[in-house]
Structure 1
Amino acid sequence: MTRMVLGAGTGLAVAGCSREASALMDDYATVSQAANEPVAGLTLDNSQLMGIREAGLQRRVSGFLSREWSDHFVTLDNGAILVDINARALHYWSEDERTYKIYPVSVPLSEDLTRTGKTSVVQKREGPDWRPTPNMLKRNPSLPAYVGPGPENPLGTHALYLGWQYYRIHGTNDTRKIGRKSSNGCIGLYNEHIAELFGMAQVGTQVLII
């Protein structure tokens, strides 16, 4: 029997957002997802799996299979983050191996917006601000030039800046997007999950996107 593990902070609940935040997000990343109840517990039993199937999320269950960090990293120096684009899941291991978390994420809309490979966290910001990239502005010149911290910000409450320009692991104020292809390149988490990850990850944490 295959064992499926969820980190204690992981859930599949979907909440609402303000009309203003949603409108802005539709330019940043366009998807929708019906509300569903969170999956409780660390191990998914048959009743929980049935709940996922009924919520239409069966295709995402495989993303929450536990992984071995050693299959992807040489060491756990500074901790490690693995993002599986196809599974739409983020795995985190602490340096001392005492903490292992799995979070559902949003991923880029298309292959041309997706970057894979190794990088690291180079900056952490609580209450990040947001500016559209040059390519975003080319696609949609009506985007605001700047959005400050707050409920309208596409980066949510926290952001981990990666070594690649314009790429982030961040929160979102539009939770409809989690579990979907919905971003212009970044990886999005529920705000409560990015807050937890933000507290564990550090500048220098390894990141691998596959």
Structure 2
Amino acid sequence: MPQNPARDVYPTIDISLANQALSLWTHPGAQPVIYPVSTALNGAGERNGSGCTPRGNHYIRAMVGGDQPLNTVFVGRRPTGEILTPELAARYPERDWILTRILWLCGCEPGRNRLGQVDSFRRFIYIHGTPDTEPMGIPQSHGCIRMRNDQVAELFRQVRPGTPVSIT
């Protein structure tokens, strides 16, 4: 069972790259809600252009899509008006789908995941939905943290901008 580090802010999110899991801590003393995720195929790393998932302390800086239906397609953090269907997915098999909700992360550690060539926010690192056909529990993303659409929508309802996110 994951352990929540001593924190005085709730909710809190911990993401384990080794376990490919996101733990949501809603209040002191509660057991976390654990969701399977998929992080970067290229592993952990902070450099811009690396395709890696950045480590360290972050927070949710922006939340996008709360009024959209499940499987809404986003490009540039804006809904395209499309809902992902098997037919749409088949038409664009190489597309890196960003679906349902976006939790845009900002690093808290200058030189590690904030500012310069290691800035998570400028790298557009998100927690977001992905097609339900994509596997969870194994690294496959281009750097973001992918989740099931119903689960990212559930997570979205329980957090707010400023929610701490630790990636280890």
* Structure 1 and Structure 2 fold alike (TM over 0.5): yes
Q: For 1:120 and 1:200, how far apart are their aligned partners in 2? A: 14
The residue matched to 1:198 in structure 2 has which SS? helix
* Cross-structure match for 1:43: none
8 Å CA contact 1:88, 1:179 repeated in 2: yes
Q: For 1:85 and 1:91, how far apart are their aligned partners in 2? A: 12
Alignment of 1:163-182 (within 5 A): 163=106, 164-165=120-121, 166-182=124-140
Equivalences, count: 129
- Letter aligned with residue 160 of structure 1: L
Q: 1:195 aligns with which of 148, 153, 165?
A: 153
8 Å CA contact 1:83, 1:90 repeated in 2: yes
Alignment of 1:1-210 (within 5 A): 66-70=1-5, 74-98=6-30, 100-111=32-43, 112=50, 113-126=52-65, 127=68, 129-131=74-76, 148=80, 150-151=83-84, 154-163=97-106, 164-165=120-121, 166-210=124-168
- Letter aligned with residue 161 of structure 1: W
Gap runs ≥5 in structure 2: 44-49, 89-95, 107-119
Instruction: Give RMSD over aligned pairs.
Output: 2.4
Higher relative contact order by CA 8 Å / sep ≥ 6: 1 or 2?
2
4+ long deviations beyond 3 Å: 95-99
Q: For 2:31 and 2:61, how far apart are their aligned partners in 1? A: 21
Q: CA deviation at 1:185?
A: 0.5
Gap runs ≥5 in structure 1: 1-65, 133-145
Q: CA deviation at 1:147?
A: 7.0
Deviations 1:134-163 (A, max 9, x none): xxxxxxxxxxxx872531681221111111
Q: For 1:118 and 1:129, how far apart are their aligned partners in 2? A: 26
Q: For 2:76 and 2:128, how far apart are their aligned partners in 1? A: 14
| Larger Rg, first or second structure (1 or 2) | 1
8 Å CA contact 2:74, 2:99 repeated in 1: no
Task: Choose between structure 1 and 2: higher strand proportion.
Answer: 2
Q: CA deviation at 1:170?
A: 0.8
Deviations 1:8-55 (A, max 9, x none): xxxxxxxxxxxxxxxxxxxxxxxxxxxxxxxxxxxxxxxxxxxxxxxx
Q: CA deviation at 1:95?
A: 3.5
Deviations 1:85-143 (A, max 9, x none): 111000010135546200000110113412101010011112472249xxxxxxxxxxx
Task: Choose between structure 1 and 2: higher helix proportion.
Answer: 1
